Structure 1
Amino acid sequence: MKILYSKHFPPKGFAAINLFGIIIGRKEYGSLTKYEINHEKIHTSQIIELLWIFFYLLYGMEWLIRIVQYRHPLKAYYNISFEREAYHNDKDLDYLKNRPWYSFINYYRQPNDGKD
């Protein structure tokens, strides 16, 4: 897994972003923790399952739905099923060893008012 660091990306307030399996960390926040890397690895699994393009389409559509639902972009972000799964399991460094495919579906209806 490739990890790059940037001064300008991802947006401030976010430590990392996963683009097509490449993790980009915000340089000013320092090296990513093992939990942040695990979080992004969970996203990589989701991306692969959904053949890249469908992940980004579903992610964007769900974010728009959550914005309407929660009326707040950050609250919408934390309630995207892909993020719920990743935040809920990023401290479990063995999660990906036994993770069933499409596990994010289990997080679609669970409310989450903030990070786990």
Structure 2
Amino acid sequence: MFLIVTKYLIPKGYRGMAVFPFVFVKFRMDKENVVFINHEQIHLKQQLELLIIPFFVWYIIEFLIRLGQFKKWSLAYRNISFEREAYANEKNMDYTKNRSLWTFFKYI
């Protein structure tokens, strides 16, 4: 994982983004935020198991489905299966070491 601080690549309203093998963070202080970094590392694992490009295709499609379902951007985002898995396990610092393949399916 390569950790890069940049305010220009992160969409408005977000603090970070994982794009294998990089984790981009908007604020320098987030480099030290272990929960935040763990959340992004979970996304890196998800991206690897879906061979990166299919992850982003799935992510966008599921976001659009959730947006139709919830009619609110923030609720749609929080209910994407990849985000649900990452938020549910971000405080478990051993999660990425012990995570089974395809675990995000449990969060659909």
Question: Smaller-chain TM-score range?
Answer: over 0.9
Normalising by structure 2, report the TM-score: 0.93
Runs of 4+ displaced beyond 2 Å = 29-32
In 2: Cα distance, 1:31 partner to 1:79 partner: 23
> For 1:88-107, what aligned pairs fall within 5 Å after superposition?
88-107=88-107
Q: Residue in 2 aligned with 1:63?
A: 63
Count of aligned positions: 107
- Matched residue type, 1:93: M
In 1: Cα distance, 2:20 partner to 2:96 partner: 18
Unaligned runs of 5+ in 1: 109-116
Normalising by structure 1, report the TM-score: 0.87
Q: Map Cα deviations across residues 14-66 of structure 1 (whole Å, 9 max, x no partner).
A: 22101122000003x62330011100110010000000111001000000000
Give identity over the alignment, percent. 41
> In 2, are the aligned partners of 1:35 and 1:91 still within 8 Å (CA)?
yes
In 2: Cα distance, 1:91 partner to 1:61 partner: 27
In 1: Cα distance, 2:50 partner to 2:58 partner: 9
Q: Which has the higher helix share?
A: 2
Q: Residue in 2 aligned with 1:73?
A: 73
Q: Secondary structure at the match of 1:82?
A: helix
In 2: Cα distance, 1:21 partner to 1:103 partner: 20
> In 2, are the aligned partners of 1:21 and 1:47 still within 8 Å (CA)?
no
> For 1:1-116, what aligned pairs fall within 5 Å after superposition?
1-27=1-27, 30-32=29-31, 33-108=33-108
Unaligned runs of 5+ in 2: none
